[in-house]
Structure 1
């Protein structure tokens, strides 16, 4: 029953989990070399069409946690995922399931004009992601 409660709490985006998820998304973007680096890495590892939909101005294509995990592992970010899952007290599969729901919105939010910001030209702002989390999770998360 505890496992089910944990899943339900994560799915509802409780404040602590939502804040942690934003921080993890930010860390992944940072470690990948910014929005441009993350987009490029995910495209190189089989998620090209989905990622392009996140950047573009149309609807965001969904991906599974398994697809995201495979792309991030292949892109060299497996240790970030493992550490983040440990800090949150969830298994990596649960974390990836949550990230696969949030990351499309995060990339979409960070590319508002349908263009990936050039490397080194900002584009990544944790405060911006925190405001997105507030919208997505329906809460007032302070960053």
Structure 2
């Protein structure tokens, strides 16, 4: 599956892979600045300093999207991917209150995200394929559970409050 048109999902996954959910207090600040990084004149499309250096230009790919837009759009795209690959019940376990979060194995993530998304994430985060998939397999269930406190995907405004 190509990830064309899903920069929010790639940004969300990149942030979770690099920063990890254990640093969730910092994710809101990162997301709020993600689309507003200045471009690096020597490398168009790549932001300079801070988050831009860490994520290799994910901010430039979002074109000024808000933190709420990144979260709500990224979560929606990600859950859709899980549903399209027959893993909807797994993703729903992270969303529905009172359910235990089903684990996700790196191999399941690999199949769900697809080659294009994984390749883009490894390039933009600097993580190896194995490290990326391992980090996301540990991070996604808890992160999505936290970002869906109402038992559903948040609206952009709700996601903005969660990010802030």
- Unaligned 5+ runs, structure 1: 1-16, 129-143
**Structure 1 CA distance, aligned partners of 2:123 and 2:132?**
11
- Unaligned 5+ runs, structure 2: 1-15, 22-26, 32-57, 59-68
The residue correspondences of 1:4-83 to structure 2 (distance < 5 A) are 20-21=19-20, 30=70, 33-57=73-97, 58-73=99-114, 76-83=116-123
Aligned-pair CA distance for 1:101: 1.0
Q: 2:153 matched to 1:116?
A: yes
CA RMSD of aligned residues (A): 3.3
Higher strand share: 2
TM-score under structure 2 normalisation?
A: 0.51
**Structure 2 CA distance, aligned partners of 1:97 and 1:72?**
13
- Paired residues in the alignment total 104
Aligned-pair CA distance for 1:78: 2.4
Aligned-pair CA distance for 1:30: 3.8
Q: Is the 8 A contact 1:35 1:116 kept in 2?
A: yes
Aligned-pair CA distance for 1:33: 3.0
Aligned-pair CA distance for 1:73: 1.0
TM-score under structure 1 normalisation?
A: 0.57
